[in-house]
Amino acid sequence: MKNKDALRKTVLARRDALPSRVRAEKSEQICIELAKELDALSTLFGQSAPFEQRAHGSICSGSLLVAVFSSMGSEVDLSPFVRTAYARGARVAFPCMIKNPAWHKATEASLSPEVAAPACHRNAACTPHEPYTPRNLMEFYEVTAEQFENGKAPFVERPLRSFAPDAEELDAFTHVAPGEIDFALCPLVAFDAANNRLGYGGGNYDAFLSCVRPDVRIVGVGFAEQEVPCGAIPLEPHDLPLPRIVSA
């Protein structure tokens, strides 16, 4: 964990040091490549999607469902690609952090004087008998072009904000299950030539990617300055490389 934290700190400092003009230019280049991916996927799905997928996936509506993310800090700005996706007729979904009722229940129980042991958090004390319970869960909600352009999606404007599961602010948005997504973009802190990915450490995308369809197009997104030598990213048995990473 310490090695991962040190690597994150180093790479994020390198990314933060990029001038805003350079980040904007590189973001534009990345978005152009992502648009090509979207066009290729649209052609592929339109011509060869199996019957089951056409019946149960987004193909039945004639629109691909694209999962993007709202850029934070010095991350790649995906706004040009998002607008291209809308222009191509795609549906677009953004991640939204939802407060985990199980975590809050466990926390309340740990504060009770009748409970001898505290609830488990992510640390070395966790064991298979004390599974890690995340404080928030990452869910996806569809955002229309009008909502995106007018800043009407609070989880897009403030991606780190967490919402109650029954928050009225989410009523205007359609929840999207991982299995509905056709094209998923993943943020990253660092990557290598073998497409291994180092994330921010929350495990949100690890959980998400374990639930998508086998035929989903998954692409990691980052700047060339975030690439590290092969072997630099500490890997665990469950870590799998991404199928593709687009960088500039």
Residue 192 has pLDDT above 60, yes or no: yes
3 is in an annotated binding site: no
Residue that wins the pLDDT comparison between 89 and 58: 89
Please tell me whether 197 is known to bind a ligand. Answer: yes
203 annotated ligand binder? yes
What are 68-127's pLDDT values in tens digits?
999 999 999 999 999 999 999 999 999 999 999 877 666 666 655 544 433 333 333 333
Instruction: For residue range 4-52, list pLDDT tens digits in order.
Output: 999 999 999 999 999 999 999 999 999 999 999 999 999 887 754 443 4
Q: At 7, give phi and psi (nearest 5°).
A: -65, -40
pLDDT given at position 94:
99
132 annotated binding-site participant: no
Q: Is 201 a known ligand-binding residue?
A: yes
Global confidence as pTM: 0.84
Report helix angle 20-48 to 79-87, nearest 10: 30
Going along the chain from its start, the domains and CATH numbers come out as: 2-100+135-247 (3.40.50.10420)
213 is known to lie in a ligand binding site: no
> Known binder of ligand: residue 86?
no
3-state secondary structure at position 49: coil
**47-55 contacts: CB < 8 A, separation 24 or more?**
53/215
* pLDDT given at position 109: 62
In this predicted structure, what is the pLDDT of residue 138? 96
